């Protein structure tokens, strides 16, 4: 019996290895859980384009926004685990266990990490007409006036987690307004329909340079080379504050390991192309490819951290 089992496993391993050698033989569907034009969509499309060029098979981006990216996640986990359905998501992936206990999938059990793609800050933005020039001034205004709101790209999104951590550490009472996507958040922040907002740096840079938005701070532990004169939130008044709005690529958990490894190597190749690295850098992000094992470990730590933030804040889906 043992010999028969060993032989079966050997044959299966050989079949998986052979599959990886010929992969891909047909188009690949890349699910993105946010709207077209959002930063995660832009970076995902860069990677998809380069993969298409290399493999000669189309990598088709399919935007399925909604419910903190769980709509897209459910589609991925229901698909065949063969490498032809992938999931490009943000840090919101790590918020799902805390916010969507009834999701049709388990974030850690049902996905295989392929590679982290980028690390980037969210920017705390406000309309110039507000007259606020610093994080300390913003905190003082919130405490004095009350009834202040901020916008983000949906409950459980990286922009929401950024804002919730800020609210907790500053000890503020704030109303948060979820939007379907980042472009809508930026539009309402510019017109002061929102008191302030959080958005990924790549989406905000043009408007900051045009002085249609004021950047008060970035969420990461270090300043962004794209906004060197803008302080971190930690520097600007909340020591110890740091939040990384990362993006990464996932597959269904049972995808053959040789295929996962092959795609991971391809992501690393794409992210190290000088032109791609320059384009991503120009958007204020840093390329950060990883092995599948490194990415799985990182996601587990992010789930633990974000679950604590959501629990302390009493954040739940209504």
pTM value surpassing 0.85:
yes
pLDDT reading at 136 higher than 90: yes
Domains of the chain listed by start with CATH number: 2-120+246-313 (3.40.190.150), 122-236 (3.40.190.10)
Residue 6 in this model has a pLDDT that exceeds 80: no
Whether residue 10 is predicted with pLDDT greater than 60 in this model: the reply is no
Quote the CA–CA distance of 39 and 128 in Å, as a whole number: 23
Walk across the sheet containing 28-32 and list its strands: 59-63, 28-32, 85-90, 247-252, 111-119, 286-287
Give the 3-state secondary structure of residue 247. Answer: strand
Answer yes or no: is pLDDT of 245 > 90.
Answer: yes
pLDDT digits (tens, 9 = 90+) for 62-84: 999 988 899 999 999 999 999 99
- The C-alpha atoms of residue 125 and residue 152 are separated, in whole angstroms, by 11
Q: Mean of the pLDDT values across residues 220-232?
A: 95
CA atoms within 13 A on the CB side of 86: 28
How open is the CA angle 270-275-277, to the nearest 5 degrees?
65
Token couple for 160: 């929401």
Averaged over 112-136, what is the pLDDT?
97
Q: Which residue has the higher pLDDT, 15 or 55?
A: 55
CA distance 83 to 60: 13
Residue 55 reports pLDDT greater than 80: yes
Q: Let me know if 20 is exposed, middle or buried by CB neighbors in 10 A (0-12, 13-18, 19+).
A: middle
Percent of the chain scoring above 90 in pLDDT: 83
What percent of the chain lies above the pLDDT cut of 70?
93
Q: Where are the alpha helices (DSSP H) in the chain?
A: 2-22, 39-55, 70-78, 96-99, 135-145, 158-170, 182-190, 201-209, 233-236, 257-271, 274-282, 292-313
What is the per-residue pLDDT across 11-26, written as a single tens digit (0 to 9) for each? 555 455 555 678 999 9
What pLDDT is stored for residue 22 in this prediction?
87
| Residues 169-195: tens digit of each pLDDT | 999 999 999 998 889 999 999 999 999
Q: Using 50, 70 and 90 to split pLDDT, how confident is the model at 207?
A: very high
The set of residues, in sequence order, having a beta carbon less than 8 Å from that of 268 and lying 6+ positions away, is: 115, 289
* Angstrom distance (rounded) from CA 74 to CA 274: 34
- pLDDT given for residue 146 in this prediction: 84
Rounded to whole angstroms, how far apart are CA atoms 155 and 96? 10
């Amino acid at each position: 019996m043992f010999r028969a089992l060993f032989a079966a496993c050997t044959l299966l391993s050989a079949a998986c290895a052979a599959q990886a050698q010929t992969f891909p033989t047909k188009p690949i569907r890349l699910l993105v859980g946010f709207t077209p034009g959002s930063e995660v969509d832009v970076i995902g499309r860069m990677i998809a384009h380069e993969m298409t060029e290399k493999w000669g098979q189309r990598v088709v981006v399919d935007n399925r926004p909604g419910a903190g990216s769980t709509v897209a996640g459910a589609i991925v986990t229901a698909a065949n685990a063969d490498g032809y359905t992938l999931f490009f998501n943000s840090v919101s992936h790590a918020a799902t266990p805390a916010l969507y206990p009834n999701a049709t999938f388990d974030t850690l059990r049902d996905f295989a990490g392929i590679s982290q793609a980028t690390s980037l800050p969210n920017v705390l933005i406000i309309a110039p007409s507000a007259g606020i020039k610093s994080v300390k001034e913003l905190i003082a205004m919130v405490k004095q006036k009350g009834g202040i709101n901020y916008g983000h790209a949906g409950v459980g999104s990286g922009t929401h987690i950024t804002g919730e951590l800020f609210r907790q550490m500053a000890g503020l009472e704030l109303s948060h307004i979820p939007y379907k996507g980042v472009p809508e958040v930026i539009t309402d922040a510019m017109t002061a329909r929102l008191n302030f907002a959080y958005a990924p740096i790549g989406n905000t840079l043009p408007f900051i340079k045009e002085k249609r938005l004021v950047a008060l701070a970035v969420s990461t532990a270090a300043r962004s080379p794209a906004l060197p004169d803008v302080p971190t939130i930690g520097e600007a008044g909340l020591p110890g504050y740091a939040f990384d709005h990362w993006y990464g690529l996932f597959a269904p958990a049972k995808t053959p390991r040789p295929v996962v490894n092959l795609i991971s190597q391809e992501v690393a190749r794409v992210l190290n192309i000088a032109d791609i690295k320059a384009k991503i850098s120009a958007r204020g992000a840093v390329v950060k490819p990883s092995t599948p094992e490194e990415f799985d470990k990182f996601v587990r730590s992010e789930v633990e951290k974000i679950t604590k933030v959501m629990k302390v804040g009493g954040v739940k889906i209504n």
